[in-house]
Amino acid sequence: MAILRIEGGRRLGGTVEVDGNKNSALPLLAACLLTDEACVLHNMPRIGDVEVMARLLEDLGATVDGVGTRTVTVRSTTLGKDEPDRALVGRLRGSVLLMGPLLARRGRAALAPPGGDFPARRTISTHLEALRALGAHETKAAGHALEAPDGLKPASIFLEEASVTGTETALLAAAGTPGLTKLRHAATEPHVADLCQFLGNMGAEITGTGSPTITIEGRSRLRGAEYTLPGDYIEAGSWGVVAAVTGGEVEVRGTRAEDMEVIAATLRRMQVRCSFDANRFLVEPSTPVAARRITTGLWPAFPSDLVSLVTVLATQASGQTLLHDWMYELRLFALEQLSAMRADLFLCDPHRIIVTGPTKLRGRLLDSRDLRSGMALIAAALAADGESRIAPVETVERGYARLVENLKRLGALVERVDDRRRLK
């Protein structure tokens, strides 16, 4: 376990470039299991979650080349098993995305309970409902086990919630199922659209991409394909908040304007000076003010993945802000640690927190309990007086490529320490 030591109170500035969208990378890797031909993915994020997913594919029999680089090639010529490694599944919630391709390709999928952030509170009921609608039925086995010995069948599916990974699970299974499947109440996030486009490149006919109703003409045999991932807008927004809380100026490259518009709208409500174009997101020195109320929602509403970071920004904004994340119960709890940094917080319930600012934060020992709140605590430490220590930093590195390198590039005084004893 590594610790990130941060000396705060410095105004950061400079340029960073984001890798491809983490939330697109995992379903696209899973889609590579649907064909026995080679698939090539460009602009892949060099992060821990991609490494774990690659190891899961290899465990199933695929060959994966280029992990740790921006170009990854997957060949799933033969899949030797339908039960992914339990230990790896326990590290990655995105492992649930393997169920659809395994059912389509092998007629069976057995999955241990997926891990990741808040595994006990994030069910996969929507995913299972979609697979059952396509003809899979559950069997008696530990975890989640389904089979379709006669193959999946096309269907009309209504999702009870517009779950992103639930939608992706249905898309993956339907693409490998001959016939016409209609998916209603689908998620519309950009990474869902990326999966639709990649599956289209593989030979499935998909209409309605980006809308709540998607129609999939599946194929019994899909071909290999290439795809270039767009930049990660959540990572870009994170670096924008880092600039805003430190009073600095940061230019983020590799973004898409249509993705950044949602984030910029909320930052501008807080009077953060920001602009964006086809490949750039710029945050300039600002004096933030409270936004009164910020509520997360389904795309194109403000994304839940950034609510922790904007909570930190609210500690540096003049006035009172209510932040409401209705999607996840435990995400805001991790931010209670800000109180020990002298932030003025009131946690109303598991979904709502009131922040009054501005407050000069003080450095301390911090616990990165999940990916997004971990990055938020790093932002708080950068704005604080004195030294902070955040552990384990690997939690944040699951989703942020070259984290320490980028922090140093922006002028932060940080050190990654791999052994606790060296901190004494």
Percent of the chain having pLDDT more than 70?
97
151 and 300 together in one domain: no
Given 174, 199, 228, the domain boundary residue is 228
Q: State the average pLDDT over residues 328-347.
A: 90
Given 228, 259, 280, the domain boundary residue is 228
Q: Which domain, by its residues, includes 102?
A: 22-228
217 and 260 together in one domain: no
262 and 398 together in one domain: yes
The token pair at 44 is 């892949």
192 and 273 together in one domain: no
Kindly report, residue by residue over 283-307, the tens digit of the pLDDT: 999 999 999 999 999 999 999 999 9
Strand ranges across the sheet with 71-75: 63-65, 71-75, 38-42, 226-228
Residue 419 pLDDT greater than 70, yes or no: no
Per-residue model confidence (pLDDT) at position 422:
46
219 and 280 together in one domain: no
Per-residue model confidence (pLDDT) at position 152:
97
The token pair at 152 is 């999946």
Active site (annotated) includes residue 19? no
The token pair at 258 is 């249509």
Number of domains in the chain: 2
Assign residue 295 the CATH number of its domain.
3.65.10.10
193 and 73 together in one domain: yes
299 and 279 together in one domain: yes
Q: Of 117, 194, 259, 305, which residue is the catalytic one? A: 117
- How far from the centroid of its chain's Cα atoms is residue 223's Cα? 27
Residue 109 banded pLDDT, cuts 50, 70, 90: very high
347 and 298 together in one domain: yes
Given 228, 243, 276, the domain boundary residue is 228
The token pair at 380 is 């708080």
247 and 380 together in one domain: yes
245 and 224 together in one domain: no
183 and 254 together in one domain: no
**Residue 271 contacts by C-beta under 8 Å, 6 or more apart in sequence?**
286, 287, 288, 289
pTM to 2 decimal places: 0.95
Kindly report, residue by residue over 194-237, the tens digit of the pLDDT: 999 999 999 999 999 999 999 999 999 999 999 999 999 999 99
Per-residue model confidence (pLDDT) at position 119:
41
Residue 424 pLDDT greater than 80, yes or no: no
99 and 69 together in one domain: yes
Cα-based distances in Å from 126 to 31, 34, 71, 133, 176: 19, 21, 32, 11, 19
